[in-house]
Structure 1
């Protein structure tokens, strides 16, 4: 039996700047077919002395949101393993 699935993650980015400082927030959204969803969040700050390169803030915020989402997916998998086997998952 061969099964193929596609899972999509939407990433929303919000940037806010004031003077020499800037903040970028990212949200990584994973919606499942069963109606459940997970949301990972990440944030990056530009130091006033840093060069203004918005792409760097985007990249950092996105990577942190994806890392948060990955942690949540691992937790769901660990809970499913314990529920189905009675044994805690150990990484």
Structure 2
């Protein structure tokens, strides 16, 4: 199965997700958060920089738990632009 290229909206949502997770990480090191979440530091780095725009749900859930960020808040951040298009 061939994976379709991500749309500009998906890439933008990935950048918003990454920026939000980076902000939530605060002064904690990338390595500490990655280890506590059960992911590699490189994976977290890619998510935070937007290079991994569509991480697995379990990865996002683990990060949300580690960073004490409600998963609904992350969904709102990722879907904010989509919601505006549907209501506008």
TM score, norm. by length of structure 1: 0.30
Larger CA Rg, structure 1 vs 2: 1
User: Greater share of helix residues, 1 or 2?
Assistant: 2
TM score, norm. by length of structure 2: 0.30
User: Greater share of strand residues, 1 or 2?
Assistant: 1
